[in-house]
Structure formats: C-alpha cells, structure tokens
C-alpha cells in the first residue's frame, strides 16, 4: 500500500498531467507504429526483414526516448533541471540498438519471450541513462525496491507483448501495443517514484547541459520522426493490404475459371508438395473419383477402394513414383465409383525441381476418357469383326484341303504312336523275359559259384598244409567269383523291381556310416560336406546303399585317369525343396555323346562290367520318388545330383 501511495503522489502531485497525457499518447502511437512495422517484417522475405526491423527499432527507440523526456518535462521537483547532452544522445542510441537486437532475436531465432525481455531491457537502459543525464542542484537518492520493480515490469510486460505477436492479427497487434505502452509507462513512473531529490546548492551543473527548451525542440523532432515513420509504415501496410486483397480476388477468379474449365473438360488435378509430403486435390478430381471431400486429402485406403482390382498394382506403382517425384509415363486405368459406375481415367504427370535439381512439387492431371475409350473399343471390335469375317471366308476356302492335310497328319501321328507303343511293349516283354531268364541263370550260377568259393577255401587249406605257394592264383579265382556274383546282383537289381522297405533316417549320419565302409584306392581323398544335420529322409537302406556305393565306385574308377595331385571325391548334402545329395569327382569328365548314353542299359565305357550300374541307380532313385541328374564336361570332372523327398518329421533332430 505504501508503494502504491508513493506512485500516486509521484504521478498526481509531482507531474504536469497535461504533459503526462501527451507522453502517454505519444507512447501509444509509437508502440502501435512499432508493432505494425514488426508485423510487416514478419511477413517480408528474409532479404527485406532487416529493413523493417531497423525501422521498427528506430520508431520504438525514438518513441520511448520522446515519451521519457516529455514525462521528464512534466516532472516538477521544484528545482531547475538541465540535461547532459552526451548522455541524452546516448540514451536514444541505447533504446534503438537494444530494441533492434531484441526484435531480431524474436524474429530470426523464434525466441519471442527472450527477445521481448531484451526490448524491455532497452526501455530500462534508455530510462536510467536518461536519468543519469539529469543535472540539478541536488543529491539524487534511489529507492532500490522501486528500481527493482521497475526493471521487472519492463522486462516481463515487454516479453508478454512480443509473445502476443506470434499471431499477428489486428486484435493481437492492439494487445501487443497496449502491453508495450504499459511496459514503458509502468517503468517510467515506478522508476520516478524511486527518486528523491535533496537540495544542495554546492552542486554546480556542467556547461554541456541541454536546457528544457532545447530538449523540447529535440523531443518535437523525434516526435516528427516517429509520426513520419509510423505514417509511412501505415501507408505501406495499407497499400500492401490492398494489393494482397486484389491479388486474392484475382487468384479467386483464376481458381473459379480453372474449376469451370476442369468441369467442362472433365479434367481434375492433384498437386503434391514433395518437401512437406502433403497433397491438394481439385474439386473436379474428387468428382471424377466419386469421393466426397471431407476437409483433407483422401486416405490411400479411400483412393485404393475406388480403383478397379485389376488396376491396383499399376496404380500403387504410380503412387510410389509420385511420392519420389518421378515423372512416370502416361497411364490409363479404370475406377469403380461408389455408385457402381465404371470409368476410364487418363493420367499425365510433371515434376518441378529447385535450383539444385531436387524434386519439390509433383503435379498430376486426371481426365475422364470413358466415352473416347469406349468408342475406340467399339471401333476395334468392329475392325476385329470385319477381320474375322474375312479370315473366316479365307479359312472356308481352304477348309477341304486343310482337312485332308490334317487327316494325313493325324494318321501319321497315330501310326508313330502305335509304333512307339509296340516298341515299348517289345522292350517290356524283353525285360520281363530277361528278368525271368536272369533269375533262373542267377539261381543256377549261384550254386556252382558257392561250391567254387568253398572249394577255394579247401584248396588254400590243403596248399598251406603241403607248403605250396598258390595264394596268388587263389586270390585271382576269388576276385573272379566276386565279380561274377556282382554281375548277377546287378542283373537282378535292374530286371526285378523289388518292393521298397523305407523308414525315416537322419541322412547325414547314415551317409557318413555308408562312406566309412567304402574302400578307395590309394591316393584318392573322400571329402564330406554335409549341410543337413538332423534332417530325416525315408529310405530303403539296403537298396540306397547300393546307389551311394555305385556312385563312389564310378568316381574312383574315373579318378584313375586324373593327375595324382588332385584325386578327390566330394559328397555333400543340402536342404532346399527336397534333400539334395551330390557326388562329384575331379576326374577327366565325359564328352557330350557319352553323357547322353550313361543311363542306357548295357552301355559302358569300361572294359569290364555289365553297363547296368547307373541305370540301376536311376531306377532305385525313381522308386524313392526322387530325381537324378548328371553334369560333366571334358576336363571339369563329373557331378551327380540326387533330389529326394523329405520325411514328414524332417524338422526334428531325433
């Protein structure tokens, strides 16, 4: 209450109220002009902002300075007062420069609160430097509490004024101007209430003192400057507002013409800002797609629901190109409107780029070409009908001759089929007879071979007892007997289709055991590259063991012609669409004519054997539901790949 009483006494009893009112009016005009100039800086391009900010800072600094010194002239302390010229001039410079920094900080750094605080500091700096310019025959005493309150009022209220200018409508401009007036007036009278003069006749004033008359002239000049800049800003602002209104009206009429032209030509447009990622649809585009405008861009789901199902994949590609700023080729596509109408649209597109070549805007046009497309389809249908009638007439003229030719061709084809069937029948009968003969011969030969094998053992024992060295002949006889038995086994395996007895096995583990049993000639390396641990495959273990043994033996036989430094057989497994088993060697390979005959029965490149090994292997693989393929070339070795179906439980590692 004491502080409010002091303020009341300072304003009412120690000031000329007429000059106080004049100072307030001058302050209000300067603040409103400052706000308008600052708002104009907000709306200007960066290269022009600094001009408007400088004008706003000049008007504000001059207005604050004029308000202060008019109020100083209104101050009646009862003693003659003068003003130091240099400090008086410095005070207006401080007001303008600090105000410029505060406004620049608010506009360029988007720090309106901090910028407003700097503007408040400009008011404080101007006031207290101006008070330091006062020359009077008295000692000036300051009340620290009033000084602190004045600083807070100026900083806080000016900060609030600048924050209001984030939304520079007319109402907010008025609020901001009022708050700036409150900041200036509140600072001045609170700061003046902090002053107490104690008369001291010994204090002499300096010669560089500005008397009140000269100060009044200076204030008048500054006031004229404020009025001139303010009116200039108002005139420019009014002119630009009128220009904006005319441009807005011209743009509105242009948009109306464009909308009318789009309706007439049934052409819509979509403009996409590639930087901000937003798009704008014209009214005609909404109508073409049959989508109701709802205040924003239609969602991708809304648009895709209208596109014909057969066209959606192409349409999605077009949307992706638009999002990347790619100028795609013209596109015709179908849509089905919500009312069920099927329409054809033709799309054209273009892209605008900035100075660096980066796409910044995509524009697409959509034209309803349903009538033209349907007319073209009718014309094509008519042309097709005419062409078809002509072709039918020509076809009818050649029908008899074509029928005779076709009949002859069918007779020849049927004859060829009968001959092929007869050849297959003969082959089957021969194989059947061969199988029966093989079984009988095998039975008749196995008994003598068994007797010979037992006799060889007895002869060895007798020779050993008698001390005779017949080991080499006996070994040759044993090898011959084993070869005869092997030939019999191959004949039986090929000619008699035995029923498989399959069970699931872990292929890698079983294959490792089979390879462990193989005996290879010296110098041949057997590599294992298993890639299917725990995978199960249904196999007839006995018969499929023959497959692996036969392939490994063939590889070993082929390596006899390979260089001693590189004799390898590689057995590998892998899981894909089925279980893959590959057996490859580094031998000399095969020529194409030999490779074409390897699965033919009784064909062999060896000087011994029946030529039934690979045919039997193929037969066993096919019985297991698998496939076999051989790849070879001279000098690059041979690769045999078998693909078998997997067991139902192949994912388990038993």
* 525 lies in some domain: yes
Tell which residue, 380, 290, 392, 272, has the closest CA to residue 342.
290
Domain membership of residue 119 (yes or no) is: yes
The domain boundary residue, chosen from 226, 241, 256:
241
- Can you give the pLDDT at residue 381? 86
pLDDT in the model for residue 9: 44
Q: Judging by beta carbons within 10 Å of its beta carbon (0-12, 13-18, 19+), is residue 455 exposed, middle or buried?
A: exposed
Same domain, 527 and 615: yes
- Asked whether residue 124 falls in the same domain as residue 157, the answer is yes
Looking at the domain assignment, is residue 354 inside a domain? Answer: yes
The number of domains in the chain is: 3
Residues 564 and 600 in one domain: yes
SS3 content of the chain, % helix, strand, coil (to 5): 60, 15, 20
Res 605: pLDDT: 66
Residues 165 and 70 in one domain: yes
Integer-rounded Cα Rg, in Å, for the chain is: 54
Residue 541 belongs to a domain with what CATH number?
3.30.565.10
Same domain for 174 and 309, yes or no, is no
- Burial (CB < 10 A; 0-12, 13-18, 19+), residue 114, is middle
Q: Residue 178: its pLDDT value, please?
A: 84
Q: Are strands 359-368 and 342-353 parallel, antiparallel or unpaired?
A: antiparallel
Cα separation, 579 vs 618, in Å, equals: 16
Q: Is residue 311 part of a domain?
A: yes
Residue 367: which residues within 8 A CB-CB, separation 6 or more? 265, 266, 267, 268, 345, 346, 348
Are both 233 and 271 inside the same structural domain?
no
Residues in the chain predicted with pLDDT less than 70, given as ranges, are 1-22, 69, 71-83, 199-242, 244-245, 248, 251, 254-255, 257-259, 261-262, 264, 295, 323, 325, 423-447, 449-450, 453, 479, 481-483, 485-498, 601-612, 648-654
Which of 327, 347, 369 finishes a domain? 369
Q: Indicate whether 628 belongs to any domain.
A: yes
The whole domain housing 279 covers: 266-369
- CA dist 431 to 435, 493, 534, 580, 623, Å? 6, 12, 40, 31, 17
Residue at 143 is within a domain:
yes
Residue 323: CATH number of its domain: 3.30.450.20
pLDDT for the residue 440: 58
Q: For 508, what's the count of Cα atoms within 13 Å in the CB-facing half-sphere? A: 15
Give residue 159's pLDDT: 86
CB atoms closer than 10 angstroms to residue 56? 25
Judgement on whether residues 25 and 76 belong to the same structural domain of the protein: yes
Looking at the fold, whether 229 and 285 belong to one and the same domain comes out as no
Question: Which two tokens mark 149?
Answer: 């309150």
Q: Are residues 203 and 322 in the same domain?
A: no
Q: Are residues 270 and 235 in the same domain?
A: no
- The reported pLDDT for the residue numbered 490 is 61
Residue 351 lies in a domain: yes
For residue 654, being part of any structural domain is answered with no
The pLDDT assigned to 165 comes to 81
The per-residue pLDDT for range 287-330, each reduced to its tens digit, is 888 888 876 778 878 888 888 888 888 877 777 777 676 777 78
Are both 65 and 110 inside the same structural domain? yes
CA-to-CA dists, residue 274 to 215, 304, 319, 320, 347, angstroms: 60, 21, 13, 12, 19
- What is the model's pLDDT at position 653? 37
Neighbours of 256 (CB within 10 A): 10
CB-based burial of residue 336 (10 Å sphere; 0-12 exposed, 13-18 middle, 19+ buried)?
middle
Strands laid side by side in the 638-644 sheet: 525-529, 568-575, 579-585, 638-644, 627-632
pLDDT of residue 189: 75
Boundary of a domain, candidates 348, 369, 390: 369
3-state secondary structure of 398: coil
Q: Give the pLDDT confidence score for residue 400 in this predicted structure.
A: 72
> Based on the domain organization, do 195 and 287 belong to the same domain?
no
């Amino acid at each position: 209450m004491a502080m409010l009483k002091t303020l009341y006494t300072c304003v009412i009893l120690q000031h000329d109220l007429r000059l106080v009112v004049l100072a307030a009016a001058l302050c209000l005009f300067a603040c409103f002009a400052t706000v308008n100039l600052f708002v104009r800086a907000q709306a200007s391009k960066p290269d022009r902002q600094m001009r408007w900010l400088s004008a706003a800072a000049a008007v504000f600094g001059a207005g604050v300075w004029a308000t202060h010194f008019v109020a100083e002239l209104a101050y009646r302390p009862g003693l003659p007062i003068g003003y130091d010229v240099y400090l008086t001039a410095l005070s207006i410079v401080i007001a303008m420069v600090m105000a410029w920094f505060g406004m620049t900080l608010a506009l360029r750094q988007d720090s309106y609160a901090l910028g407003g605080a700097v503007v408040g500091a400009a008011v404080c700096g101007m006031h207290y430097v101006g008070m330091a310019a006062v020359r009077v025959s008295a000692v000036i005493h300051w009340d620290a509490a009033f000084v602190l309150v004045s600083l807070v009022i100026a900083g806080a209220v000016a900060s609030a004024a600048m924050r209001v200018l984030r939304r520079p409508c007319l109402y907010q401009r008025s609020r901001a101007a009022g708050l700036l007036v409150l900041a200036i007036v509140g600072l001045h009278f609170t700061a003046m209430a902090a002053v107490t003069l104690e008369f001291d006749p010994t204090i002499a004033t300096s010669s560089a003192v500005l008397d009140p008359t000269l100060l009044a002239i200076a204030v008048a000049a500054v006031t004229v400057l404020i009025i001139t800049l303010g009116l200039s800003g108002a005139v420019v602002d009014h002119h630009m507002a009128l220009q904006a209104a005319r441009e807005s009206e011209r743009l509105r009429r242009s948009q109306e013409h464009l909308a009318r032209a789009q309706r007439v030509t049934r052409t819509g447009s979509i403009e996409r800002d590639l930087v901000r990622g937003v798009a704008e649809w014209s009214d005609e585009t909404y109508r073409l797609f049959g989508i109701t405008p709802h205040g924003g861009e239609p969602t991708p789901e809304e648009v895709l629901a209208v596109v014909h199902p057969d066209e959606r994949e192409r349409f999605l590609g077009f949307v992706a190109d638009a999002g990347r700023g790619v100028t795609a080729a013209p596109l015709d596509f179908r849509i089905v409107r919500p009312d069920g109408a099927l329409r054809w649209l033709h799309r054209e597109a273009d892209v605008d780029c900035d100075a660096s070549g980066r796409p910044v805007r995509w524009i697409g046009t959509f034209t309803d070409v349903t009538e033209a497309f349907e007319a073209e389809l009718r014309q094509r249908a008519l042309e097709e009908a005419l062409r078809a009638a002509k072709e039918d007439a020509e076809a009818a003229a050649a029908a008899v001759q074509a029928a005779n030719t076709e009949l002859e061709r069918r007779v020849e084809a049927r004859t060829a089929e009968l001959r092929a069937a007869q050849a297959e029948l003969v082959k089957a009968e021969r194989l059947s007879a061969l199988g029966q003969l093989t079984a009988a011969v095998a039975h008749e030969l196995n008994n003598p071979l068994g007797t010979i094998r037992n006799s060889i053992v007895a002869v060895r024992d007798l020779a050993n007892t008698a001390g005779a060295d017949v080991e080499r002949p006996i070994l040759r006889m044993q090898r011959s007997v084993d070869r005869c038995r092997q030939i019999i086994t191959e004949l039986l395996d090929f000619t008699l289709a035995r029923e498989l007895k399959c069970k699931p096995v872990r292929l890698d583990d079983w294959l490792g055991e089979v390879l462990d049993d193989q005996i290879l000639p010296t110098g041949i390396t057997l590599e294992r590259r298993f890639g299917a641990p725990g995978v199960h495959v249904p196999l007839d273990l006995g018969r499929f063991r023959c497959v692996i043994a036969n392939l490994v033996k063939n590889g070993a036989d082929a390596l006899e012609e390979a260089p001693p430094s590189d004799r390898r057989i590689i057995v590998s497994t892998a899981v894909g669409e089925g279980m893959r088993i590959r057996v490859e060697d580094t031998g000399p390979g095969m020529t194409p004519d030999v490779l074409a005959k390897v699965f033919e029965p009784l064909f062999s490149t060896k000087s011994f054997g029946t030529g039934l090994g690979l045919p039997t292997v193929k037969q066993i693989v096919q019985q297991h539901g698998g496939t076999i393929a051989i790849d070879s070339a001279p000098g690059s070795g041979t690769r045999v790949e078998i693909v078998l179906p997997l067991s139902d439980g192949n994912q388990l590692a038993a």
